Chain A
Amino acid sequence: MPRMTMIEAIRDAMDVMMARDERVVVFGEDVGYFGGVFRCTAGLQQKYGKTRCFDAPISESGIVGTAIGMAAYGLHPCIEIQFADYMYPAYDQIVSEAARLRYRSNGEFTCPIVIRMPTGGGIFGGQTHSQSPEALFTHVAGLKTVVPSNPYDAKGLLIAAIEDPDPVIFLEPKRLYNGPFDGHHDRPVTPWSKHELSEVPSGHFTLPLGKASVVREGAAMTVLAYGTMVYVAQAAAAETGIDAEIIDLRTLIPLDLETIAASVRKTGRCVVVHEATLTSGFGAELAALVQENCFFHLEAPVARVTGWDTPYPHAQEWDYFPGPARVGRALVETMEA
């Protein structure tokens, strides 16, 4: 199987779908000729022409709004918001429109769009290039939210998202674009080529939306993570020597509650980690679900390790980012609780 970075896998997914399905169109800011500021769409305009892959005006509400109109016509737009931090002008279109077309028209109009957005920190991007707004989407009825953590998943999940009949928010952890990252920012960067999940099948393949992946089996506790935090959790487990079962959720909505509950019933302990702020974050939903479904198996309170409830700072990036030391502490405390 060919080896790919996350960028190449994402590009390949769009390439495969544009070749298979004329209804798939790709657009966004700097997406056409240049191929995107992270290069995820490089070459697609040359290959499929500028009416299927093109540059959009800097108007996120316009990008999402026109994509909804295209979907209503029968196309399957896969659009890019340059950074998730830039999506707020489009939020009304996403929440009040994309998410509800099917419901309010009783299925007469639907919205099969994918909104790709780079998410998360770790690149010294400051408050406007580092946010993790996934909970703003999971809170909205009618949206699906996907957060891949490696090239293999990224391709399989993106193709599934493009084929999905409903709107999908596809959050790409930008710190993972060129390699896995475990939070040790002072160590050399590991490229994807050294990681087994950079082996990605050629052509069409999908992973189901709503199926988590157990990336490390363990008996002592369950760690729920997604995106960049999957690697941070693995590092924390290795460094504390705790036999943690680490689950990469892959999709937040729909959520693979079965895998989560089975694991926590087995281990009796659970730590939830995400990069986004704590309060009303997706971790709160996970903690609630775990106690509802596993209360009588729990031997310790469900712990959350997250970004602090502040805007994402520039200089203090590594004080903000929930790195392996902080996650490791939570693992130890949960074992001792």
Chain B
Amino acid sequence: MTAYGPLTLHVPEPAVRPGGTPDFSNVKIPKAGAVPRPEVDVDPESIRDLAFSIIRVLNRAGEAVGPWSGLLSDEELIEGMRHMMTLRTFDARMLIAQRQGKTSFYMQHLGEEAISCAFRKALSPGDMNFPTYRQAGLLIAGGYSMVDMMCQVYSNSRDPLKGRQLPVMYSSKEHGFFTISGNLATQYVQAVGWAMASAISKDSKIAAAWIGDGSTAESDFHAALVFASTYKAPVVLNIVNNQWAISTFQGIARGGSGTFAARGLGFGIPSLRVDGNDYLAVYAVAKWAIERARRNLGPTLVEYVTYRAGAHSTSDDPSAYRPKTESDAWPLGDPIIRLKNHLIARGAWSEERHKQAEAEILDTVIAAQKEAESYGTLHAGGKPSARDMFDGVYAEMPPHLRRQRQQAGV
């Protein structure tokens, strides 16, 4: 006889599955303006509670309130909204193009536009992002050519990456956008190394690491936190918690920890949670974290609380694992609508101007798409040559590869 019952394995489950009623009552959302804004040189030990709250600026009435508000002018906010609208329109057009067979694959940002668009605005020239596949707002808001982006998506004759990479795996050093791997979490620790190099070189540039909720389970995430903490690297460690890793809900990666932000606390890294659907809050927190890095105060971990409103990719159908109406029930709303309402409340915007902006943006995106398609799409028109496939494996092509290229007859 044993005094103990049998052990049982705990496997976390999301609150609701398809057929159920979406329920986010477990997501505790503090009032906008309720979370204090500490000085950037604050003792990390004294702000541990910021890892368990949500910094919010926009309230339900569309007003910007509290200590994290007041950083952006009307013009800057309108520009920010246009970036988000452009990204959303870009995504919509590329999704249709994928369905039309013009490319093999696509990944959209629906609902997450504020995060990469607002973060980009807080960076300075020369800073480097190590993004995942859902931060194209860094490029859109950074002024990267939409035609170039589309040429990459189409793998056509003007693809800056010569057809080598899967669609959306962009790369632009000039725009502070490190080449996307496609494998998960590998780049998180590289961002820390880039930031360490900036410090070693007595530079002033900082790095930004990006990861999703699911991929924080990878060893590379934890390695990144160790190195960032040990060397006080000038890096912002971003976690985009959009609730779903393909079909796997965030609880599988989070485990028993209260939040993803709380992962930073054991490393002594200041760790903040922010409303990822609130452009003003994202900008304010990004600015704070980037300022810390720039002032040699070390790393900051930021968890963006958001929701992946669309499918993981064009290869995914979320209705198989979550209620169809779950995104409507998401309590933090839509980032574009929230910023639009705020601008209207400020008297800086109107429904008419919004409609007009939508039409203008659509025209711009369509014009870019027409130009990109004139250089070909994946299966039609101009395409990278088979010869391009052999270039760039090494700086100088070794003899064995030269022989293979000859064999290939290209």
Contact = CB atoms under 8 A, between A and B. Distances in A.
B383 A126 contact: no
A315 B215 contact: no
Contact of B219 (A33, A54, A59): A59
Contact of A315 (B164, B184, B220): B164
A16 interface: no
B9 A310 contact: no
A33 B11 CA distance: 11
Contact of B169 (A85, A89, A126, A308): A126
A57 B253 CA distance: 5
A51 B8 contact: yes
Contacts of A308: 389-390, 401, 404-405, 408
A33 B386 contact: no
A261 to B, nearest CB: 28
A136 interface: no
Which of A57, A58, A61, A85 has the most C-beta atoms of chain B within 10 angstroms of its own C-beta?
Answer: A58
B341 interface: no
Contacts of A34: 246-248, 320-321
Given A58-B184, A58-B217, A315 B383 contact: yes
Nearest to B247: A34
A310 B393 contact: yes
B105 interface: yes
Contacts of B17: 33
B248 A55 contact: yes
B242 interface: no
A309 B400 contact: yes
A233 B119 CA distance: 52
Contact of B246 (A30, A61, A125, A315): A30
- Secondary structure at the A interface, as helix, strand, loop or mixed, is loop
Contact of B11 (A54, A127, A129, A309): A54
Contacts of B182: 126-129
A37 B384 CA distance: 30
A229 to B, nearest CB: 17
B166 interface: yes
Interface string B385-398: 11011100100000
A315 B9 contact: no
A110 B272 CA distance: 45
Given A51-B11, A128-B182, A57 B389 contact: no
A279 interface: yes
Given A128-B183, A310-B390, A319-B386, A57 B214 contact: yes
Interface residues of B, number: 54
Given A51-B8, A58-B217, A313 B252 contact: no
Given A54-B11, A315-B378, A62 B217 contact: yes
B159 interface: yes
A23 interface: no
Interface in B7-38: 8-9, 11, 13, 17
Contacts, number: 131
A81 B410 CA distance: 36
B218 A314 contact: no
Given A58-B217, A124-B105, A310-B401, A86 B393 contact: no
A128 B164 contact: no
A320 interface: yes
Interface in A36-67: 37, 50-51, 54-62
Nearest to A60: B218
Interface in A290-337: 308-311, 313-316, 319-320
Nearest to A82: B246
Contacts of B165: 126-127, 314
Contact of B245 (A58, A127, A314, A320): A58
Interface string B249-292: 00011010000000000000000000000000000000000000
Interface string B119-138: 00000000000000000000
B85 to A, nearest CB: 29
B401 A319 contact: no
A248 interface: no
A88 interface: yes
Given A127-B182, A308-B408, 14 more contacts: A30-B246, A30-B247, A51-B8, A51-B9, A56-B252, A57-B214, A57-B217, A59-B217, A86-B184, A310-B393, A314-B155, A314-B164, A315-B164, A316-B164
Interface of B: 8-9, 11, 13, 17, 104-105, 155-156, 159, 162-167, 169, 181-185, 214-215, 217-220, 245-248, 252-253, 255, 315-316, 320-321, 378, 383-386, 388-390, 393, 400-401, 404-405, 408, 410
29 contacts: A33-B17, A34-B246, A37-B246, A37-B315, A51-B8, A55-B247, A55-B252, A56-B252, A58-B248, A59-B218, A61-B218, A62-B217, A86-B184, A88-B183, A89-B218, A125-B166, A127-B182, A128-B181, A128-B183, A129-B166, A279-B400, A308-B389, A308-B405, A315-B378, A315-B384, A316-B388, A316-B389, A319-B389, A320-B389
